[in-house]
Amino acid sequence: MRIDFCKGTEADVKAIGGLYREAITFMAANGLDQWQTGYPNEEDALSDVKNGFSRILKEDGKAIATCAILPYEPDYERIDGAWKGTSYLAIHRVAVLSACKGKGYAGRLFSEAEKEGRAQGVSALRVDTHKDNKPMRSALEKSGFRYRGIIYLQWDGAPRVAYEKRL
């Protein structure tokens, strides 16, 4: 079994969209209202690919997990709490194939993002999630992220719990 971490390409957009759909279904089945508005979708995946933000884990060539790594997140300008790092990469749109959940692949995404952050010389990784998204919060904490406070999404004002990992 070979696992590769790479930038997503246009050829990966449908697979990334499938990972998003599985995550949306999982969240709905577990009573989470996160990602229940049609976001994220294949258009978001394509935008991430075109902007160079898309990352994908592949097992023997098959997409098993994805995320977007951004150099800046405007929603992180205001926090009820405090960030510790001064420069950062933001991780968004984390999704893991249902059959691969609980096997450490989210942690692998975070580990690879950490490598990118170190290579770019940033002082932290930042991420946010719904307060009730226990699987994501657990994966973040297992990967060394620390709770920093609450941020508010600019497009709808929804609160999200914010995490950071110092590099």
Q: Are 88 and 123 in contact (CB under 8 A)?
A: yes
- In this prediction, residue 1 carries a pLDDT of 86
Distance from C-alpha of 128 to C-alpha of 164, rounded to nearest angstrom = 9
Q: Give me the mean pLDDT over the 116-124 stretch.
A: 97
- Domain ranges within the chain, ordered by starting residue: 3-166
Distance from C-alpha of 113 to C-alpha of 109, rounded to nearest angstrom = 6
Q: Give me the mean pLDDT over the 152-160 stretch.
A: 91
Q: How many CA atoms lie within 13 A of 30 on its CB side?
A: 15
Distance from C-alpha of 2 to C-alpha of 60, rounded to nearest angstrom = 5
pLDDT tens digits, one per residue of 20-71: 999 999 999 999 989 999 899 999 999 999 999 999 999 999 999 999 999 9
Q: How many CA atoms lie within 13 A of 138 on its CB side?
A: 9
Residue 156 has pLDDT above 90, yes or no: no
- In this prediction, residue 120 carries a pLDDT of 97
Q: Give me the mean pLDDT over the 71-94 stretch.
A: 97
pLDDT tens digits, one per residue of 86-118: 999 999 999 999 999 999 999 999 999 999 999
Q: Give me the mean pLDDT over the 71-93 stretch.
A: 97
pTM above 0.75, yes or no: yes
- Correct CATH for 3-166 of 3.90.230.10, 3.40.50.1010, 3.40.630.30, 3.90.550.10: 3.40.630.30
